[in-house]
Amino acid sequence: MSGAVSNLNDLVFRLRGPGGCPWDAAQTDDTAKMYLMEEAYEVLDAINGKSPGDVCEELGDLIFQIFFLSALAKERGEFDLLRVIEGITEKMIRRHPHVYGDITVRDSSEVSDNWDKIKREEKKENNSTLSRLNNVPANLPSLLRAHRLSERASKVGFDWPGKEEIREKVKEEFGELSKALNEKDDKKVYEEIGDLMFSLVNLARHWGFNSEQLMMDANRKFIKRFELMEGELRSSDPGIDGAGIDKMNQAWEKIKSSEK
Average pLDDT per 10 consecutive residues for the chain, totaling 260 residues: 88 96 95 91 90 95 97 96 95 94 89 84 66 80 93 89 95 97 96 97 95 92 92 76 84 88
For residue 140, CA distances in Å to 82, 92, 110, 136, 137 come to: 27, 22, 25, 8, 6
Query: Domain locations in the chain?
Result: 2-94, 142-209, 214-259
Please state the pTM of the whole predicted model. 0.69
Give the Cβ contact number of residue 237 at 10 Å: 7
pLDDT at 235: 75
The matching CATH number, chosen from 1.10.287.1080, 3.40.50.2300, 3.30.70.1530, 3.30.2130.10, for 142-209 is: 1.10.287.1080
Euclidean distance between CA atoms 190 and 177, whole angstroms: 9
- Angstrom distance (rounded) from CA 105 to CA 26: 49
Would you say the CATH fold of 142-209 matches that of 2-94? yes
Q: Where are the alpha helices (DSSP H) in the chain?
A: 2-16, 22-26, 29-48, 52-75, 81-94, 97-100, 108-125, 142-154, 163-183, 186-206, 211-234, 244-259
Say what the pLDDT of residue 115 is.
84
pLDDT of residue 42: 92
What pLDDT score does 188 carry? 96
Rounded distance between C-alpha atoms, residue 76 and residue 233, angstroms: 58
Architecture of 2-94 per CATH? Orthogonal Bundle (1.10)
